[in-house]
Amino acid sequence: MTGPLHQNPRERFVRGSRSAAGAVTVAMGMATAAALAMSAQALASAVPAMQDAVGGAETAAPAATAAPVAPVELALFNMDRLGLFLAMVLICGAVIGAILVARTGRPLRIRKLAALEAVDEAVGRATEMGRSVLFVPGIQDMTDIQTVAGVTVLGRVARTAAEYDARLEVPTSRSIVMTAARETVQAAHFAAGRPETYNDNGIYYITDEQFGYVAAVTGKMVREKPAACFYMGAFYAESLLLAENGNAIGAIQIAGTAEPSQLPFFVAACDYTLIGEEFFAASAYLSGERDQLGSIKGQDIGKLMVAAVIVIGCALATVGALFPATGATGAVDALRSFLGG
């Protein structure tokens, strides 16, 4: 990363996968076994998707049939990443399991997030005042999951706005985000039962340039004085420029981001802030669908696993430091290198 400012999402995007190239060939038997396990996992995660895609078809191919044929030159599985792979299986398994449990209809209890309760209130206030609602989905492209989560939250805001008949403005910094936002807002109007009130004009592209975008949005804020401002997505230095100007016009401001460096500014300048993981949970929470709520449970299971690793690891390390003879330090190092890759 080159500092929080000029991050180029595309570069980061490419870099992540290139590192996969430096793989080591390992004992073939092990690799094939692992690959079998993995393709089963991949397929397992694919199956519900496909099921959904074909409208809940009953049949699904048995997992093992799709195992790749043994290769000649390249390893099927990079054994260096076994720890990562197992961690991924555990976490994805927790999420999938929680979704399946949710489908059985058992009651799901999720604690309330104050910021979300405020969404309806903010839109309602804008309607009363006859002013618009501004939604800023961050400055990154759809290559950032935060933007995707932001667009999901937009769906709920747009639905409320459609119900109240409030004017919604979504300036975007990436044209693909504009496309996604239009789809989402249109869907929200359908869901609110008012498809006729939807039009494209409120959702438009400004410029990809970070500060060009901010200049336009802050200008718009000062001129049109929206009563409610939502900042949901990936933000960098512009966070405070937006939030301070929103404050100056007296708007209710609700922010959500997973960009740790910008959280302090949103926390200081906005009325409500969804901090990090809360933001992703919010996007699931707002949909109100059981599947999505289930996945929040899955996240919680993931956190429990992390906490368990930390507690056990620290206990072992402490024993190792106090009584070097027990060899507990060696166990911690082994755990570390297994998980750390």
Binders in 140-169 for another protein, by CB under 8 A: 141-145, 148-149, 151-152, 155
Confirm or reject binding of residue 67 to another protein (CB under 8 A). no
Q: How far is the CB of 165 from another protein (least distance, A)?
A: 19
233, 147 in Cβ contact below 8 A? yes
Measured distance CA(212)–CA(223) in Å, rounded: 17
Q: Residue 151 burial (CB < 10 Å; 0-12/13-18/19+)?
A: buried
Measured distance CA(286)–CA(194) in Å, rounded: 19
229, 253 in Cβ contact below 8 A? yes
Q: Name the segment binding another protein (CB under 8 A); options: 19-27, 59-67, 129-137, 162-170.
A: 19-27
Task: Find the binder of another protein among 32, 76, 169, 235 (CB under 8 A).
Answer: 76
Closer CB to another protein, 166 or 251, in the complex? 251
Confirm or reject binding of residue 17 to another protein (CB under 8 A). yes
Q: How far is the CB of 215 from another protein (least distance, A)?
A: 5
Q: Which residue has the tokens 């995707």?
A: 148
Confirm or reject binding of residue 66 to another protein (CB under 8 A). no
Q: How far is the CB of 174 from another protein (least distance, A)?
A: 7
Total residues contacting another protein (rule CB under 8 A)?
Answer: 156
Query: Which residues are CB-neighbours of 340 under 8 A, at least 6 positions away?
Result: 83
Q: Which of residues 278-317 bind another protein (CB under 8 A)?
A: 278-281, 283-284, 287, 289, 291-292, 295-300, 302-303, 306-307, 309-311, 313-314, 317
- Type and span of the H or E element at 253: strand 252-257
Determine the angle formed by the axes of helices 290-322 and 328-340, rounding to 10 degrees.
Answer: 140
Task: Find the binder of another protein among 67, 84, 101, 129 (CB under 8 A).
Answer: 84
